[in-house]
Structure 1
Amino acid sequence: MGAGDGKAEQSKLAAERVARLKRRLDEAEGATKPWDADAVSEKVVADKLGELVPRGWYVLHDVHWPGRPKASLDHVLVGPGGVVVVDCKNWTGEVRVLSGVLWQGRYARTQAVEGALAQCAAVSSVVSPPYRRLVRPLICMAAQPDLFGVTASDVAVAGTQRVVGAIEALPQVLDQQTVAGLYAQLGQDLTHEQEPGIMAFRHVRPGTVVPPAAPPANAGAPAARSGSSVRPAVRGNPSAAGTGEGYRPAGHRAAPKARRHGTGGAGRLALLAAFVIFAVYILPYWGQ
């Protein structure tokens, strides 16, 4: 084989490697597109649900699914109408609720309905028993703005333009004080880290909490001044509510022991180094 043939062979191998790398890049880009679309749809729904904040609703975005450390819930709302667990979907095509069944095209999406019911049951399990019956599931279709329907299992399905009205239409079952208490409880139960790093690949940080505006002065609770920081009452530990220790935002952790007592680790390391020096350089000549 001549020099020219060797160069041609090397050029061919290089071209094949480039082609393989390009295919892998295309596959990686294709794999990230659904995640990007889901993140955009969750953001759209989150912005829409924000319209409920001035109307007495508390909003929690992208929080932990109780009992499933590696799963999350898109949105959980607490307000006068109870607790609403919102599962965000970004389905395309024809989506409808017909005869109590959720359809996408010609396929019945019963699994999505069962998933919404499972999310509702998980949140109900951490709510105080008197209020468990007030937890409701809702599927929000980000790409179907005008859709609204209710399945046979009582799961509401609403598009982005109908979701606020559907939640507002719920009958009032909670007063403002109870709403604040439930919000504080769910804030603690759903926003603490359950397993290190499980949300590293999410586009939204876990435990993003949006408090509602202060209720009017005639709503049974004193109105807060504009711009003030409103913190819901923390139930079960009255002293913690005043100190701010009862409710900590997601991601806030106490310093590890090694940080709080850094000198202990350094002392042990120095002692180990001294022992190694003694064993290697002094002990062999001991007694000579």
Structure 2
Amino acid sequence: MTTTGGAERGTHGRATTGASTCAEAHRPTAVVPPPTRRHHVEQQPWLAQVPAERLVAATLRGMEPEGWTSVHDVHWPGRPLANIDHLVVGPGGVVVVHTESWAGDLVVTDGEVRVGEQVRTHQVARASEAAAAVTALLAPRHRTAVRAALCLGDRSDAAVSAAGATVVGRTALPGHLRGLPPRLTPAEVTGLVQLLGVRLGGTQSPQMLTTAALQPATRAARRRAVRARADVATPTVMHPEAGRRPASRARGLLLRALVVVTTAGAGALAFTAPIPGF
């Protein structure tokens, strides 16, 4: 049985009676969890992730002579506690790159991404969500130039599309960027790098705009008025005969027929009666 150091010193430093020895034997021993080891296990994935991000950053810097400019560890618009690993802008557009370090064979089947025995579709979709957030910051003419990529930092897998993004190994990432169709001019690349650097590299994460914020006040008020009118119940107009019972309708029709017959008979008598003097 393992005891603490204080308990050992107390046992060897003085004589104990049989009763005290029995009490010591039945005293529960507190088990103290090792916080240092648990902390190390929790931090291990993050510590393993940092070298992969550095490798990807170095790979992207090697693309600068070909017109690609990259920034790293910037804000995720609308998510103050999240970040975007890499953002690279070049002739092929704006590419939001998320880095992962996974072990196992990469398999994509019916939109599901598996690496080894793990399903990784959700992580790939996060890269697509980050690209959508960056897209909302750009002018309409540049929004179609944004792409999403999930880069496997220590691998050489060929590019494959899944969950709205491209999964590609780090060594194959330059070829993927070169293969994108031309989309931006050098002047547009410079302007977008400056814009995104200011918007995403500040001290606070930029807020996401919604379509309601882009509408003029008069248009929004008009839509609210239309919705209010739609909520008001429209009165139903009923025909006067709709609420009458069948017997009442029959009596009404009979009275109308009698009036018509009486009127017609009176008219006939008037035409056939002799006129005095003729």
Same fold by TM-score greater than 0.5: yes
Amino acid across the alignment from 2:200: L
| Corresponding residue to 2:32 among 5, 20, 25 | 20
1:7 equivalent to 2:10? Answer yes
Q: Aligned partners of 2:114, 2:137: CA distance in 1, in Å? A: 31
- Paired position in structure 2 for 1:58: 69
Q: 1:128 — aligned with what?
A: 139
Say if 1:124 and 1:7 are closer, same or farther in 2 by CA, change over 3 A: same
Q: Contact conserved, 2:98 with 2:150, CA < 8 A, in 1?
A: yes
Alpha carbons 2:103, 2:116 under 8 Å: kept:
no
Counterpart pick for 2:167 among 157, 180, 185: 157
Q: Which amino acid in the other structure matches residue 32 of structure 2?
A: R
Q: Which moved more, 1:131-140 or 1:102-111?
A: 102-111
Output aligned runs, 1:1-288, within 5 Å: 7-8=10-11, 20=32, 23-151=34-162, 153-194=163-204
Distance 1:181 1:6, change over 3 A: closer
SS of the aligned residue for 1:131 comes to helix
CA contact (8 A) 2:128 2:148 kept: yes
Give the deviation of 1:135 after TM superposition: 0.3
SS in structure 2 at match of 1:130: helix
Structure showing greater Rg? 2
Distance in 2 separating the partners of 1:175 and 1:30: 47
Distance of 1:88 and 1:132 partners within structure 2 = 22
- Give unmatched runs, 5+ long, in structure 2: 1-6, 14-23, 206-278
CA 1:154/1:111 → structure 2, altered by over 3 Å: closer, same or farther? closer
Is the Cα contact below 8 Å between 1:65 and 1:190 reproduced in 2? Answer: yes
3-state secondary structure, aligned to 1:76:
strand
- Choose between structure 1 and 2 for higher RCO, CA contacts under 8 A separated by at least 6 residues: 1
Offset of residue 5 of structure 1 = 8.2
CA positional deviation for 1:109: 2.3
Say if 1:9 and 1:43 are closer, same or farther in 2 by CA, change over 3 A.
Answer: farther
User: Structure 1, residues 220-266: CA drift from partner, whole Å, max 9, x if none?
Assistant: xxxxxxxxxxxxxxxxxxxxxxxxxxxxxxxxxxxxxxxxxxxxxxx
How many aligned residue pairs are there? 185
Q: Which digits, 9 at most, give the CA deviation of each residue in 1:125-182, with x for residues without a partner?
A: 111121011100001012332342112x442110011011001111111110011001
Q: Share of identical aligned residues, percent? A: 34
State the distance in 1 between where 2:69 and 2:107 align: 29
**Unaligned segments of structure 1, at least 5 residues:** 196-288
Taking structure 2 as the reference length, the TM-score comes to 0.61
Amino acid at match of 2:72: H
Cα distance, 1:52–1:9 mapped onto 2, change above 3 Å: farther
